[in-house]
Structure 1
């Protein structure tokens, strides 16, 4: 289960397709050995309107929402691995950031409908 939410400035779509951002985030999550492949959920959203540091600089921000149970060290290593993966793209003038958010297990519910 992590929910990986990738927000990026729309001006980056010319340089890196959203699917490429998603693939490197997914791979970093898999390499952490904290998750099973079928448990990783990814979403990417382009931001058309944004201001970063007072100007319209490009950015990618990844929020990884997960249930409790990982140590601080595991979460730190995961965020560093995802950041390292994002850095593999040769994008100039970009701000890259990763945030791990722990979900409250008591309030998270899920139901899957399948045929």
Structure 2
């Protein structure tokens, strides 16, 4: 926890590889001071087939899943920081977005809780 899942067009990987993207998003999330660094998980899901506005425009969308308890302002700043980093890395891409969703503590379970 947290998870940052990056859906994107495959073609963006010609500009930066998955490892670089993962590292940059990890560093940006860690710099927010909202999470323990060893708990941050980042992964990239590239797509060859997709439509944006009924056309094949390049895109990046980050799904952030975090444990509940952060303020709306903290989540907004996290989204802004990650979209800013991606915009710096991919200035030619118009469709860069992110949303943050909360895990509910009452229903969350991981292996260490068993």
Residue number in structure 1 paired with 2:19: 19
SS in 1 for 2:54: coil
Q: Aligned pairs, how many? A: 112
Pair 1:68-2:65 in alignment: no
Give 1:34 shift: 0.6
- Cα deviation per residue 1:18-67 (whole Å; 9 max; x = unaligned)? 22221121111111011111010111111121000110000111111011
Query: For 1:1-115, what aligned pairs fall within 5 Å after superposition?
Result: 1-111=1-111
Give 1:90 shift: 4.1
**Higher mean C-alpha deviation, range 86-95 or range 52-61:** 86-95
Unaligned stretches of 5+ residues in structure 1: none
TM-score, normalising length from structure 1?
Answer: 0.90
SS in 1 for 2:88: coil
Unaligned stretches of 5+ residues in structure 2: none
Structure 1 or 2: more helix by fraction: 2
Q: Distance in 1 between matches of 2:13 and 2:92?
A: 13
